[in-house]
Amino acid sequence: MTNAVKAVLYDWDQVRLDQVRGQITRRFISSEQLTIGQIHLAKGDDVPRHSHANEQITYVITGSLQFWFGDNDEQELVVNGGSLVVIPANLPHRALALESTFELDIFNPPRADWQDGSDNYFRR
């Protein structure tokens, strides 16, 4: 290798598991440019309306999430397993798990509020 930059390997099972709201659990890893979160939701779990300066991609691996976007829920989408939604920065949104769901959230830039624990909208 010609430079000091190196790849970093993570094992999800070794990453801290957070209980954030209802039955929702989360593990996340941040790099210089991104945060990726592994999220499990039980049927009926909800994520309250919030917005953030981060662009977000939510990839539902299994299950189904209903999303509402905008200050007054102007747009509604259901994202099923195998599909993803791209959420622009600063777009208010909320979500409801229509069934037990496993999904990945990817953010740019990294979620500083997840790192420092100030994501109060997502806490119990």
Residue 1 — very low, low, confident or very high, per pLDDT cuts 50/70/90? low
Distance, in Å, from the CA atom of 93 to the CA atom of 67, rounded to the nearest integer, reads 7
Q: Is the pLDDT of residue 66 over 80?
A: yes
5: in domain: no
6: in domain: no
What pLDDT score does 79 carry? Answer: 98
Q: How many domains, the chain? A: 1
DSSP secondary structure letters along 35-85: EEEEEEE-TT-EEEEE--SSEEEEEEEESEEEEEETTTT-EEEEEETTEEE
4: in domain: no
7: in domain: no
Report the half-sphere exposure of 10 (CA within 13 A, side-chain side): 13
Tens digit of each residue's pLDDT (9 = 90 or more) over 2-43: 678 899 999 999 999 999 999 999 999 999 999 999 999 999
Question: At 104, which CATH number?
Answer: 2.60.120.10
The count of other CB atoms within 10 Å of the CB of residue 37 is: 20
The range of the structural domain enclosing residue 69 comes to: 17-117
Mean pLDDT of 85-112: 98
What pLDDT score does 107 carry? Answer: 98
Distance, in Å, from the CA atom of 98 to the CA atom of 108, rounded to the nearest integer, reads 27
Stated pTM of the model:
0.93
